[in-house]
Amino acid sequence: MCREAANADSNGMEQIVGDRFLFSALADLKVCVVHGDGEMRRTIREELNVLGVHQVRECTDPSMALLLLAEFEADFCIVDWQGEPMDGLEFVTFIRTSDESPDPKLPIIMLTTNANTHHVIDARNAGVNEFLAQPITRRALHARLLALVENPRLFVESDRYRGPDRRRQRRSFVGTHQRQSDDAPGDKQAIPANTGKKERLAG
């Protein structure tokens, strides 16, 4: 079931964020949280509130999230790997590749209790922007938000891959000639990831 999340006490958020401009940017964000555990959804929502993010909607599973995203223009989504009848990885694949996707460029943070290399690679190849191990910490969640806001990845579209650029140092190169050896497999044509309303994530 999807519902409007209540605001939590935000005492101390200035100390966590540290930058008034960044705090203002976070306050404007709309977030979709997808997790089957109500206690975990509450924890994530409250941590987002402390970090200055108050426009939060919750769903119990990815299939419900797809319905929500058709009417709620989220700036990014936090989704658990586990889920029924659709799991988090299937959700990411649908968002990135389906003709019925509500937003193919939607930034996505994947939650998992299994942060081994195989899972991270599978998530990256599906088109996940950031990866977050459970149980989450405020510091880790803050770091992922900073990555989305301060250093958004370019969006790549090719025959083999559609999603955020899988190379972390993409923004360090300025110029028209780039070595193909620097590309991750299939990451050949990059375009800005956040267009229209999502330009605020790119600063």
Residue that is written with structure tokens 């003709």 in the block: 99
Question: What pLDDT, on a 0 to 100 scale, did the predictor assign at position 67?
Answer: 95
Give the count of beta carbons closer than 10 Å to the beta carbon of residue 95. Answer: 26
Domains and CATH numbers, the chain: 3-152 (3.40.50.2300)
Residue that is written with structure tokens 């050949």 in the block: 188
- pLDDT averages per 10-residue partition of the chain, 203 residues: 49 46 74 96 94 94 95 96 91 96 96 84 93 90 89 90 79 38 46 46 47
Question: What pLDDT, on a 0 to 100 scale, did the predictor assign at position 57?
Answer: 97
CA gap 181, 142 in Å, rounded = 32
Q: Are 33 and 41 in contact (CB under 8 A)?
A: yes
CA gap 187, 158 in Å, rounded = 7
